[in-house]
Structure 1
Amino acid sequence: MSTKQFVLEVCADSVESTIKAQEGGADRVELCDNLYEGGTTPSIGLIELTRSKIDIDLHVLVRPRGGDFCYSDIEVEVMKRDIERLHELNVQGIVVGALDAEGQVDIERMQTIMEVAGPLSVTFHRAFDMAADPIKALDDLLSLGVDRLLTSGQAKSAFEGRELIKQLQERAGENLLVMAGGGVNASNVEELHDYTGVKEFHMSGAKVLDSRMKYRNRHVFMGKKIAIPEEVVQTIRTGKGPNGVPPLRLPEFELSLVDTGKVSAVKNKILLMK
C-alpha cells in the first residue's frame, strides 16, 4: 500500500507551528486559533502568512466561538462571511460543524455552510463527538456529502474510541473519509489503523513553552473565569508548588508550539504501515 494513501494532519494555531508541522512531515495542516477554547476561526493575517510559509494542504477551522456547536442565525452569517473570504486565500478546505439543540447534526445550517464552501473540502469536526446518536449523525453527514469526519469515537481519545471509529469507517466505506483524532501518537497510530481501517490521522503534537515574560502578575487572569480549587489558585499566586513540585503556570505565561519530533515520530510510523 502506498504511503500516499495515508494522511497525517496536524492542528496548529500559529505560523511557527505550521512550519514545524511541515518540517515534521505533516501532509496537511488544520489552522485554528484559541486552542484553549478548543479552537476558533483564525484571523485573515494568520491564514495569509501561513499560506505563504508552507506548501502542504491547508484546511481552516470555521468556528465563531468556543463552547457548544448550536449556532444562531447571526453566528452562521459570520461563518458564511469567513468562508467567502477563504475562497480568496488559496486554502484547500474548511473544518466546521453544527448541531441542533437535541444533539443532532443541524442539517439546515450545514447545508447553508456547504453551499458557501463550494469546491472547498469540508471536514465535519469533533462536534460529532458531542452528537446524541453517532450512527444517525454519520448518516446525516453522508447525506450532506461531507468529505471527511474528524472524531475520537466519542471518547477521550481516538484509541479509547477505536471501536466506534471502526464502526463508522465500515459504515462510511468509500463515501466519506473517517479521520481519527485525539491523543494520536507514535505509540498508537499503527494499532489505530490496524483496528479501525482509517487512513487519515489528526494530531496536535504540541509542547508547552514557558513565556519569555520575566514580570508576571499572578493575580489577574486574562481568559474566562474557570473553577479552580483554592489550593491550586494559591500555588499559582505564590509560585510555590508543594513538596518540591514546580509551580503551576498561568495560561498567559504558556505558549504552545508544535513539536517537530512528535510529528516526525508519527509520520515515520505511518511510512512503515501497510
Structure 2
Amino acid sequence: MCVESVAGLHAAVEGGADRIELCAALSVGGLTPPASLIRAAAAAPLPVHLLARPSAGGFVYNAAEQALIADDIRTAAEAGLAGVVIGASTERRTLDMALLARWIALARTLGDARGKPLSLTLHRAFDLVPNPIDALEASIALGFDRILTSGCTPRAIDGAATLAMLHARADGRIIILAGSGVNAVTAPDILATGVRELHASCRSVRPVDEASPERRFGFVGPDTGMTDPIRVNDLARITHLTA
C-alpha cells in the first residue's frame, strides 16, 4: 500500500494492508517523503519501505541526485524501516546497472533497527525499459528482492500478459509486484496472471471547491485524495482469498 501522509499510514493499518510504501507526491508517481513522515512511519506495525526518488520525471540521475538517493537508503536503515524502493535508468532507458549496483552494495552494508537486511524493490523505472526480459534478468543478477511493475504499460490491467510472462520467467527467483490502477475491480484479473503481490494507493478522491481560498491561492489542486481504509480492506480481502 503506497501512502503519503500520517492519515494514510493509519488507514493502511486499519484496512489490513500487509506492507507500506512510504512516499510523497503520488500525483507524479511518488517522491521521497520528508524525514518527519519517515520517523512517524517507523512506529507503524507493518513493514515500511521507503521510496527514494528525488524529483519528478525520468530516472536518469546526476551526481547530486545519486548522492541524495544514497542518503535516503541510509535514512531508511537508521529509521528502522524494512526496505527501500529504488531505480535508475540510462539515457536509453535501460537499467543503470553500475549505479544500481553501488546503491545495492550500500544497502547490503546497512540494515534495519533489528539488524535485518534492507529489502530491495526496483521501482517502475523497469516499465520504461526496451526489453523487459533483459531487465528482469539484470534485476535478479543485481540482487533485488522484487520488481514493482505495471507490465510496461501505464496500467497493470493492460499489462497483464507481460505480468504473466514476467512472473513465469522469474520462476521464484524474484517477486513480481503489480502496481498502477490496482483496485478491487482490477485485482482478480491481475492476480490471474500468477502474480501474488499487489501495490495500490486505494485513495478516495473528491473535488475541491473552486471558490475555496486554498484552491484560489493554489495551495491545493482541483481534487484531493486520501487513503481509504474501506478500499484497502476490499483489496486485502481479495488478495488473501486468492492467495
Correspondence 1:185 to 2:154: no
TM-aligned CA deviation for residue 209 of structure 1: 4.4
Gaps spanning 5+ residues in structure 2: where? 109-116
- What does residue 25 of structure 1 align with? 16
1:63-109: CA deviation from partner (whole Å, max 9, x where unpaired): 11111001112211111112112211110000111010011100000
* Aligned CA-pair RMSD: 1.8
Listed as ranges, the matches of 1:35-46 within 5 Å are: 35-46=26-37
Moved more, 75-84 or 144-153: 75-84
Deviation (angstroms), 1:217: 6.0
Corresponding residue of 2:168: 170
The residue identity in structure 1 corresponding to 2:67 is E
Alpha-carbon distance in structure 2 between the residues aligned to 1:145 and 1:37: 27
TM-score, normalised on structure 2?
Answer: 0.90
Aligned CA distance change for structure 1 residues 269 and 183 (closer, same or farther; 3 Å): same
Aligned length: 234
User: 1:237 matched to which residue of 2?
Assistant: none
| Separation in 2, partners of 1:23, 1:142 | 34
Q: Offset of 1:256 from its aligned partner?
A: 2.2
State yes or no: 1:150 paired with 2:141: no
Find the residue that maps to 1:95 and give its secondary structure: strand
- Matched residue, 1:11: 2
- How far is 1:32 from its partner? 0.2
CA distance in 1 between counterparts of 2:139 and 2:194 reads 19
Does structure 1 conserve the Cα–Cα contact (< 8 Å) formed by 2:196 and 2:239? no
Aligned match of 2:226: 257
Matched, 1:76 2:66: yes
Q: How far apart are 1:40 and its partner, in Å?
A: 0.8
Which ranges of structure 1 fall in alignment gaps of 5 or more residues? 1-9, 223-249
Residue identity opposite 2:28 in structure 1: E
Query: Residue 203 of structure 1 corresponds to which residue in structure 2?
Result: 200
SS across alignment from 1:179: strand
- Cα offsets for 1:118-166 (capped at 9, x unmatched): 1211100111111121111111101101110010001121111010011
SS of the equivalent of 2:2 reads strand
Secondary structure of 1:104 counterpart: coil
Cα distance in structure 1, aligned partners of 2:124 and 2:24? 16
Query: 2:111 maps to which residue?
Result: none
Task: Using the aligned pairs only, state the percent identity.
Answer: 34
- Whichever residue aligns with residue 238 of structure 2, its letter is K
Report the CA distance shift for 1:216/1:73 in structure 2 as closer, same or farther (over 3 A): closer
- CA distance in structure 2 between the aligned counterparts of 1:268 and 1:32, rounded to whole angstroms: 24
**TM-aligned CA deviation for residue 208 of structure 1:** 2.2
User: 2:114 aligns to what?
Assistant: none
Distance 1:38 1:270 in 2: 23
Distance 1:168 1:50 in 2: 31
Separation of aligned partners in 1, 2:34 and 2:27: 16
User: What is aligned with 1:234?
Assistant: none
Residue 84 and residue 188 in structure 1: after superposition, are their counterparts in 2 closer, same or farther (change >3 A)?
same
- The amino acid across from 1:175 in the alignment is R
Larger radius of gyration: 1
**Separation in 2 of the partners of 1:64 and 1:182?**
20
SS of aligned partner of 1:180: strand
Between the aligned partners of 1:85 and 1:269, the Cα distance in structure 2 is 34
| CA distance in structure 1 between the partners assigned to 2:90 and 2:206 by the alignment | 37
Which aligned segments of 4 or more residues in structure 1 are displaced greater than 6 angstroms?
none
* 1:161 alignment partner in structure 2: 159
State yes or no: 1:67 paired with 2:57. Answer: yes
| Amino acid aligned to 2:2 | C
Q: What is the TM-score of this pair, normalised by structure 1?
A: 0.81
